[in-house]
């Protein structure tokens, strides 16, 4: 496709037409990244196609002007490229009615939340975006942005924007609304509600009082579990999609064919018919979250760190290595699965074998560095509880320990160890701090002690488990001295020994 091809837009003929073209918005979405565009946007388009309704989406990018500019240039259209191993198909959801940058127009975020036409606010702001302090287990009152938001003025944090928006909505008549978190956090609805309430309680005097009464009366916070693997877009995909489309699309989103959304059906102000796109409304969202965050995400982290340390750039390449596949099967069956209550009607064996097919989708090109990014926040959701369950029943979770050892080796390599370029490409808010600890650590045990026990990276309870910390330290040393394959063999065979000993 030549650079002067027509740019995708509502009046530009293209091989795929937008599925819908809503006149009015009913949803405000915070976090206009690729995941939202390949997930909630697609479900919302299906809902509008099947049942209509004023459920267009106003998309708010936290900081990125480039996505907002590109969307406006393309009449708010973009394609989702569904990439199966043998074929790629294109869909243009067409559900967005506007887009802007939250950091540039925070007052507009507040005004939109107050607008009675908006009845659902959806969020994909990542695990990092909730201003939550794991140390206090409350809203992070040491965070400068949160403190500034509490003092007044235009709010910059997501929780500040939501709380100020709900205050303004209460003042404007208090029409019912739902706040729907779509991030990989357990009990994400209750978590979001707790943080917003804490923000309102922290306001001086009785300033937050009316909003708190409004929350009791007319605001709901359903939990939801979201699932679809969405890699970062690439120049190659832009070219391929533009050629298939016959029009230039600068912001296509690649996604796997699999998609899942489990939602608690508690919507104070109504909701789109998302079931038309296959969403499951269920009272068992907690079970779905647990299953997904541990089996998919927990194992994904293991594959990403071991893969990067093996020198491979993508998840399919990593799971294609025998040692990593065997480590992934072992962690799933022996360490994650026993900690999960399977939702009714889900066939866990089928779910697991589908996971291996999804990870092996080589056409998708999902990068180990993408999954390995932000491990300091992601792993906290994925590993402490299953690890503690194993430890309390007298077993060592060797593969979870290996996941942590892989993470530390990638982000905080001990002096003299080079984890390679895929590990170097992982970004992490804790990298500098951990690298500082690693620089003066004598060995893996000392590094693990500092990260897990002193810093409480995975919470206080795991920080008190000496045997686990020692095991992580040993595996860090094995990776450094004998290589990642030796560490995989060691962890998998130690885990098999336990399993055999337990058999009658």
The residues binding ligand CS2 (CB under 6 A) are 184, 227-229, 297, 300, 370-371, 378
Among the listed residues 296, 272, 293, the one whose alpha carbon sits nearest the alpha carbon of residue 122? 272
Please state the closest distance from residue 142 (CB atom) to ligand CS2, in A.
26
- The vertex-250 CA angle with 245 and 255, nearest 5°, equals 75
Please state the closest distance from residue 449 (CB atom) to ligand CS2, in A.
26
CA distance 199 to 182: 20
Please state the closest distance from residue 200 (CB atom) to ligand CS2, in A.
30
| Closer to ligand CS2 by Cβ: residue 29 or 300 | 300
Please state the closest distance from residue 374 (CB atom) to ligand CS2, in A.
7
Tokens (6 digits) for 474: 């040993």
| Closer to ligand CS2 by Cβ: residue 149 or 227 | 227
| Closer to ligand CS2 by Cβ: residue 58 or 255 | 255
| Closer to ligand CS2 by Cβ: residue 247 or 379 | 379
Strands (E), 246-350: 253-255, 260-263, 280-281
> 132 pairs with which residues across the strands?
139
- The vertex-173 CA angle with 169 and 175, nearest 5°, equals 70
How many DSSP H helices and E strands does the chain contain? 24, 14
Please state the closest distance from residue 227 (CB atom) to ligand CS2, in A.
4
| Closer to ligand CS2 by Cβ: residue 242 or 301 | 301
3-state SS record for 326-373: HHHHHHHHHHHHHHCCCCCCCCHHHHHHHHHHHHCCHHHCCEHHHHHC
3-state SS record for 481-498: HHCHHHHHHHHHHHHHHH
| Closer to ligand CS2 by Cβ: residue 25 or 308 | 308
Tokens (6 digits) for 216: 């009791």
Please state the closest distance from residue 356 (CB atom) to ligand CS2, in A.
14
SS3 69: helix
| Closer to ligand CS2 by Cβ: residue 297 or 409 | 297
Task: Provide the pairing of β-strand 25-30 with 56-61.
Answer: parallel
| Closer to ligand CS2 by Cβ: residue 41 or 76 | 41
| Closer to ligand CS2 by Cβ: residue 96 or 378 | 378
Please state the closest distance from residue 378 (CB atom) to ligand CS2, in A.
5
Half-sphere exposure of 468 (CA within 13 A, CB side): 27
Alpha-carbon distances of 10 from 14, 72, 192, 303, rounded to whole Å = 9, 11, 36, 41
What does the longest C-alpha to C-alpha distance in the chain come to? 71
Tell me which H or E stretch contains 179: strand 177-181
| Closer to ligand CS2 by Cβ: residue 44 or 403 | 403
Please state the closest distance from residue 298 (CB atom) to ligand CS2, in A.
9
Among the listed residues 422, 186, 419, the one whose alpha carbon sits nearest the alpha carbon of residue 317? 422
CA distance 341 to 431: 34
Please state the closest distance from residue 221 (CB atom) to ligand CS2, in A.
21
Please state the closest distance from residue 20 (CB atom) to ligand CS2, in A.
24
CA distance 34 to 233: 8
Tell me which H or E stretch contains 47: helix 40-51
| Closer to ligand CS2 by Cβ: residue 100 or 305 | 305
CA distance 32 to 306: 30
| Closer to ligand CS2 by Cβ: residue 167 or 259 | 259
Please state the closest distance from residue 373 (CB atom) to ligand CS2, in A.
7
Please state the closest distance from residue 9 (CB atom) to ligand CS2, in A.
30
Secondary-structure percent of the chain, ordered helix, strand, coil, rounded to 5: 50, 10, 35
């Amino acid at each position: 496709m030549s650079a002067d091809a027509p740019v995708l837009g509502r009046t530009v003929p293209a091989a795929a037409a937008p599925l819908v073209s809503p006149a009015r918005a009913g949803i405000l979405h915070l976090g206009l990244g690729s995941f939202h565009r390949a997930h909630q946007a697609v479900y919302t388009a299906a809902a509008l196609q099947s049942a209509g309704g004023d459920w267009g989406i106003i998309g708010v990018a936290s900081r990125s002007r480039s996505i907002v500019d590109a969307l406006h240039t393309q009449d708010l259209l973009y394609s989702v490229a569904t990439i199966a191993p043998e074929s790629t198909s294109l869909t243009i959801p067409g559900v967005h009615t506007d887009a802007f940058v939250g950091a540039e127009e925070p007052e507009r975020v507040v005004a939109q939340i107050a607008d009675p036409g908006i009845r659902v606010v959806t969020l994909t702001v990542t695990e990092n975006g909730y201003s939550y302090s794991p140390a206090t287990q409350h809203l992070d009152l040491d965070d400068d942005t949160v403190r500034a938001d509490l003092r007044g003025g235009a709010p910059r944090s997501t929780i500040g924007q939501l709380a100020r928006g709900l205050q303004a909505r209460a003042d404007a008549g208090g029409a019912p609304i739902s706040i729907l978190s779509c991030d990989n956090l357990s009990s994400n609805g209750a978590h979001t509600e707790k943080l917003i309430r804490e923000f309102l309680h922290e306001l001086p005097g009785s300033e937050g009082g009316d909003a708190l009464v409004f929350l009791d009366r007319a605001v709901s916070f359903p939990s939801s579990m979201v699932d679809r693997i969405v890699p970062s877009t690439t120049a190659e995909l832009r070219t391929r999609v533009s050629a298939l489309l016959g029009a230039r699309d600068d912001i296509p989103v690649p996604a796997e064919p699999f998609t899942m959304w489990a939602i608690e059906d508690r919507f104070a102000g109504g909701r789109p018919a998302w079931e038309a796109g296959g969403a499951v409304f269920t009272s068992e969202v907690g079970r779905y979250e647990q299953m997904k965050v541990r089996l998919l995400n927990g194992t994904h982290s293991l594959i990403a760190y071991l893969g990067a340390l093996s020198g491979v750039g993508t998840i399919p390449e990593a799971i294609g290595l025998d040692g990593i596949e065997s480590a992934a099967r072992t962690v799933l069956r022996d360490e994650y699965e026993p900690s999960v209550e399977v939702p009714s009607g889900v066939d866990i064996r089928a779910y697991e074998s589908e996971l291996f097919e999804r990870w092996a989708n080589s056409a998708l090109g999902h990068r180990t560095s993408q999954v390995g990014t932000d491990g300091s926040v992601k792993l906290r959701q994925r590993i402490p509880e299953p690890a503690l369950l194993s430890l309390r029943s007298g077993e060592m979770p060797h593969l979870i320990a290996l996941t942590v050892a892989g993470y530390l080796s990638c982000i905080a390599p001990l002096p003299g160890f080079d984890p390679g370029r895929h590990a170097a490409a992982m970004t992490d808010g804790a990298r500098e701090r951990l690298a500082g600890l690693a620089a003066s650590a004598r060995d893996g045990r000392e590094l693990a002690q500092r990260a897990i026990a002193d810093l409480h990276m995975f919470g206080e309870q795991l920080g008190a488990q000496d045997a686990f910390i020692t095991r992580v330290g040993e595996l860090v040393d094995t990776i450094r001295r004998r290589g990642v394959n030796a560490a995989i063999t060691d962890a998998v065979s130690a885990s098999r020994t336990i399993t055999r000993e337990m058999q009658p």
